[in-house]
């Protein structure tokens, strides 16, 4: 007997269970909404399963592998260091599984209904959820779209066993002897650095005149210095042309300064950006507006041009950051619940887990001046910090951006160890409307990297203790 597809009534439907979707679902449930979340893949999305988390696990393992070779300057020498890469991958998998199972527990604990399948919108209040066997229609009052993004594939570099996207690079069975990375953005540079730490001979081909677009030149220089030290080669203004694959490797051709060159490797990793997953989900059926890149247009409350449908994360304008998606997801959930919430990106940090790490929040000095601020940049080096020296990791600096008239903190850039953690203090300072004096008067424990923030604030006040 065939059962008819009778629509099931829902309150709030969240499409996509990545760091934007699952956070939005939980926040909406906390605010009293009855929430259903649907995803065709694993809970946690790209970030938890094949992005942020596994890449950081691999980066950490790479750091440990590099450190295991000892340091003559510190009087530490080692012999016969070996890496069982299958065990590295097994450990990485355990980290991922612990977090994805945790997301499932959190959703269930907040009474969020979980569906598995692909979503296709029929109209502004109706969607079909399809799996391999069935299709079920759902009627919803409100919807949050959080379908994320996918790696961009270059026509001349079709993904295969040897031509990898970031997911493929994270799941290699062995450490490559040689790897070419096309695209020197944060993903390519992070993974290139990680494999360089494992001993891979890495070549990064970047089409523009510098890697790590979006970060200041002085910050990138610190990373490039480290890459060179690891034996990695960075070739800028290089246009990747094509790849020849064999059973054992690849030959990548590229053009630089009008001359064609080739480089042999075991694998080529293509990281030239990501595209929003907004095709083939029926947006046109609803009349949801997108731009020429496929990004959904939203207002300050994450709302699309259709008043009961919201969009967050990689499918809207801005950097494809997991924490941005989570933030927008909370805003959308709160707006649906009747709260007066709206997006404010000024305290949104941007981080690259390179070696050393890079982090930025608020305005750069240039951006502040363009925005009409009479801004001051106050710099303090890691080399003048006791903890950085004792870690034998003292390359880099913090640059604090303040408003000259009253010392209001409006931004910061950090290049150095633990920059990803340190930037949160400046984010808080910006959100709370704090001044350089507020930071300088906050006692920071000694010896810690956190003292660098205090010292940079003292530079801004003109009363530095540990720098001239």
> What tens digit of pLDDT does each residue of 8-27 get?
999 999 999 999 999 999 99
Point out the catalytic residue in the list 63, 323, 446, 466. 446
Please list, in sequence order, all residues whose beta carbon lies within 8 angstroms of the beta carbon of residue 343, skipping any fewer than 6 positions away. 300, 301, 302, 327, 328, 331
Quick one: pLDDT at residue 387?
A: 98
**Are 268 and 200 contacting, i.e. CB atoms less than 8 angstroms apart?**
no
Find, among 130, 121, 93, the residue nearest to 5 by Cα: 130
**How large a percentage of the chain has pLDDT more than 70?**
99
Which DSSP category does 288 fall into?
A: -
**Are 411 and 349 contacting, i.e. CB atoms less than 8 angstroms apart?**
no
| 356-461 belongs to CATH 3.40.50.300 | no
Summarize the confidence of residues 205-216 as an average pLDDT: 96
Q: Is 136 helix (H, G, I), strand (E, B) or coil?
A: strand
For the cut 80, the answer to whether the pLDDT of residue 2 exceeds it is no
Rounded Cα distance, 277 and 84, in Å: 36
| Number of Cα atoms under 13 Å in the Cβ half of residue 188 | 31
Rounded Cα distance, 140 and 124, in Å: 9
Confidence label for 5 from pLDDT (cuts 50, 70 and 90): confident
For the chain, the straight-line distance linking the first and the last C-alpha, in angstroms and rounded, comes to 84
Give the β-pairing of 358-362 and 409-415.
Answer: antiparallel
Going through 305-349 in order, the beta strands assigned E by DSSP cover 309-311
Question: In what order do the strands lie in the sheet containing 201-205?
Answer: 163-164, 267-270, 178-182, 201-205, 233-235
Which DSSP category does 295 fall into?
A: P
Please list, in sequence order, all residues whose beta carbon lies within 8 angstroms of the beta carbon of residue 133, skipping any fewer than 6 positions away. none
Rounded Cα distance, 152 and 274, in Å: 5
Query: Please, what CATH class does the domain formed by 163-272 belong to?
Result: alpha beta
Rounded Cα distance, 277 and 149, in Å: 5
Quick one: pLDDT at residue 163?
A: 97
For the cut 60, the answer to whether the pLDDT of residue 3 exceeds it is no
Confidence label for 398 from pLDDT (cuts 50, 70 and 90): very high
Going through 16-152 in order, the beta strands assigned E by DSSP cover 35-39, 70-71, 76-77, 113-116, 118-123, 126-130, 135-145, 149-151
Q: What is the CATH number of domain 8-151+275-345?
A: 3.50.50.60
Parts of the chain belonging to CATH 3.30.390.30: 356-461
| DSSP-assigned states of every residue in 246-287 | -SS-EEEEEEETTEEEEEEESEEEE-S-EEES-TTS-HHHHT
Give me the chain's average pLDDT, please: 96
Summarize the confidence of residues 218-237 as an average pLDDT: 97
Quick one: pLDDT at residue 132?
A: 85
Q: How many CB atoms lie within 10 A of CB 374?
A: 9
446 part of the active site: yes
Quick one: pLDDT at residue 4?
A: 56
Quick one: pLDDT at residue 1?
A: 37
Quick one: pLDDT at residue 468?
A: 80
* 214's tokens: 């979006």
**Are 331 and 323 contacting, i.e. CB atoms less than 8 angstroms apart?**
no
Please list, in sequence order, all residues whose beta carbon lies within 8 angstroms of the beta carbon of residue 332, skipping any fewer than 6 positions away. 24, 144, 301, 302, 303, 310, 312
Quick one: pLDDT at residue 102?
A: 96
Find, among 122, 112, 114, 39, the residue nearest to 306 by Cα: 122
Confidence label for 247 from pLDDT (cuts 50, 70 and 90): confident
Which DSSP category does 177 fall into?
A: S
| Number of Cα atoms under 13 Å in the Cβ half of residue 311 | 25
Residue-wise pLDDT tens digits, 315-367? 999 999 999 999 999 999 999 999 999 999 999 999 999 999 999 999 999 99
Summarize the confidence of residues 156-164 as an average pLDDT: 96
Residue-wise pLDDT tens digits, 60-114? 999 999 999 999 999 999 988 999 999 999 999 999 999 999 999 999 999 999 9
Summarize the confidence of residues 267-287 as an average pLDDT: 97
Rounded Cα distance, 240 and 183, in Å: 9
The C-alpha angle with vertex 432 and arms to 427 and 436, in degrees rounded to 5, equals 75
Residue-wise pLDDT tens digits, 130-151? 988 889 999 999 999 999 999 9
């Amino acid at each position: 007997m065939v059962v008819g597809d009778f629509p099931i009534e829902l309150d709030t439907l969240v499409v996509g269970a990545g760091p934007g979707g699952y956070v939005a679902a939980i926040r909406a449930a906390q605010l009293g909404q009855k929430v259903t979340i649907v995803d065709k893949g694993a809970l946690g999305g790209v970030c938890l399963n094949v992005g942020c988390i596994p890449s950081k696990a691999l980066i950490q393992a790479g750091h440990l592998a590099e450190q295991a070779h000892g340091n003559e300057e510190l009087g530490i020498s080692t012999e016969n260091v070996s890496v069982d890469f299958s065990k590295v991958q097994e450990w990485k998998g355990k980290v991922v599984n612990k977090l994805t199972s945790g997301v499932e527990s959190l959703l269930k604990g907040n009474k969020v209904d979980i569906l598995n399948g692909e979503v296709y919108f029929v109209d502004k209040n109706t969607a079909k959820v399809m799996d391999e066997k069935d299709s079920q229609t759902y009627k919803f009052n409100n919807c949050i779209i959080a379908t994320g993004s996918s790696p961009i594939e270059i026509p001349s570099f079709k993904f295969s066993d040897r031509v990898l996207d970031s997911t493929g690079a994270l799941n290699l069975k062995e450490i490559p002897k040689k790897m070419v990375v096309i695209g020197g953005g944060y993903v390519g540079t992070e993974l290139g650095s990680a494999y360089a730490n494992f001993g891979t001979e890495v070549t990064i081909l970047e089409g523009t005149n510098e890697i790590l677009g979006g970060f200041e030149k002085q910050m990138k220089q610190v990373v490039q210095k480290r890459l060179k030290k690891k034996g990695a080669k960075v070739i800028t203004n290089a246009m990747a042309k094509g790849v020849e694959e064999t059973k054992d490797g690849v030959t990548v051709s590229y053009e630089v300064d009008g001359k064609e060159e080739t480089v042999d490797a075991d694998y080529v990793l293509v990281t030239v950006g990501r595209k929003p997953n907004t095709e083939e989900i029926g947006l046109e059926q609803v009349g949801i507006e997108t731009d020429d890149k496929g990004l959904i247009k939203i207002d300050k409350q994450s709302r699309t041009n259709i008043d009961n449908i919201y969009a967050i994360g990689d499918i809207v304008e801005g950097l494809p950051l997991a924490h941005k998606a989570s933030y927008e997801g909370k805003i959308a959930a709160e707006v649906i619940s009747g709260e007066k919430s709206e997006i404010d990106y000024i305290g949104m940090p941007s981080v690259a887990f390179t070696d050393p790490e890079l982090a930025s929040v608020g305005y750069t000095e240039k951006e502040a001046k363009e925005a009409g601020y009479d801004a001051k940049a106050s710099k303090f080096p890691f080399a003048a910090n006791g903890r950085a020296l004792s870690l034998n990791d003292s390359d880099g600096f913090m640059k604090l951006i303040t408003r000259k008239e009253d010392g209001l903190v409006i931004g910061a850039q950090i290049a150095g160890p633990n920059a990803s953690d340190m930037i949160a203090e400046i984010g808080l300072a910006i959100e709370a409307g704090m001044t350089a004096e507020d930071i300088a008067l906050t006692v920071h424990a000694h010896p810690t990297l956190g003292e660098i923030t205090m010292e940079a604030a003292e530079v801004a006040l003109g009363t530095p203790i540990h720098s001239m």
